[in-house]
């Protein structure tokens, strides 16, 4: 007997955890200074954040921050990003290192994985479709409690003015 599993399949294990890939609800990144994805289940081990045509109101870079039941944490991140041989240190989140200007159009994906307990590692790649620019980012963050939320914001107080952002999560 063989079993066929397609892209919508999931498996429930004895502890009641459902394994599979769950999509968040895509959010239009056309206003506001941050976008939060909340209610992430405690059993999640990997989160993928996807950016499509995202733009900010000025020259700041995108910043991805993690949070637990106590809120979003904006300190204690270890890592950096690199584009065209130039590295940027990020301590307040996982950043997109590509040089932005007003109305830059950014695509990208960052994967955040649980290494143990409340410790997470991240790696991602970003590019601009309005200019020849691309970069990578790598980092880590240990939360004070179980991860429950992810925030997308900027390295400044910029406002989102174009694009779509979504997440996938899995156990």
Tens-place pLDDT, residues 47-60: 999 999 999 998 88
14-43 tens-digit pLDDT: 555 556 899 999 999 999 999 999 999 999
The whole-number average pLDDT for the span 102-131 is 94
**How far apart, in whole angstroms, are the C-alpha atoms of residue 170 and residue 42?**
11
Tell me the whole-structure pTM to 2 decimals. 0.88
Domains and CATH numbers, the chain: 20-170 (2.60.120)
Where is pLDDT greater, at 10 or 127? 127
pLDDT value at position 131?
87
DSSP class of 142: E
Residues 6+ apart with CB under 8 A from 86: 97
Neighbouring CB atoms inside 10 A of 19's CB total 13
Mean pLDDT taken over the chain: 89
Of the candidates 48, 47, 49, 66, which has an alpha carbon nearest to the alpha carbon of residue 146?
Answer: 66
Q: Where are the alpha helices (DSSP H) in 80-143?
A: none
Contact between 63 and 70 under an 8 Å Cβ cutoff? The reply is: no
Instruction: Determine the straight-line distance between the first and last CA of the chain, rounded to whole angstroms.
Output: 27
pLDDT over 90 for what percent of the chain?
71
């Amino acid at each position: 007997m063989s079993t066929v599993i397609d892209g919508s399949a999931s498996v429930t294990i004895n502890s009641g955890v459902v394994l599979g890939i769950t999509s968040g609800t895509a959010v239009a990144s056309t206003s506001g200074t941050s976008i939060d994805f909340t209610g992430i289940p405690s059993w999640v081990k990997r989160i993928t954040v996807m950016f499509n045509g995202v733009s900010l109101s000025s020259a700041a870079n995108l910043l991805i921050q993690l949070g637990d039941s106590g809120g979003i944490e904006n300190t204690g991140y270890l890592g950096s990003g690199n584009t065209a041989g130039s590295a940027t240190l990020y301590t307040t989140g996982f950043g997109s290192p590509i040089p932005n200007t007003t109305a830059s159009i950014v695509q990208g994906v960052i994967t955040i994985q649980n290494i143990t307990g409340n410790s997470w590692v991240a790696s991602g790649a970003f590019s601009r479709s309005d200019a020849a620019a691309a970069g990578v980012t790598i980092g880590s963050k240990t939360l004070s409690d179980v991860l429950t939320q992810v925030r997308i914001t900027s390295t400044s107080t910029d406002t989102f003015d174009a694009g779509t952002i979504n997440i996938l999560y899995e156990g």
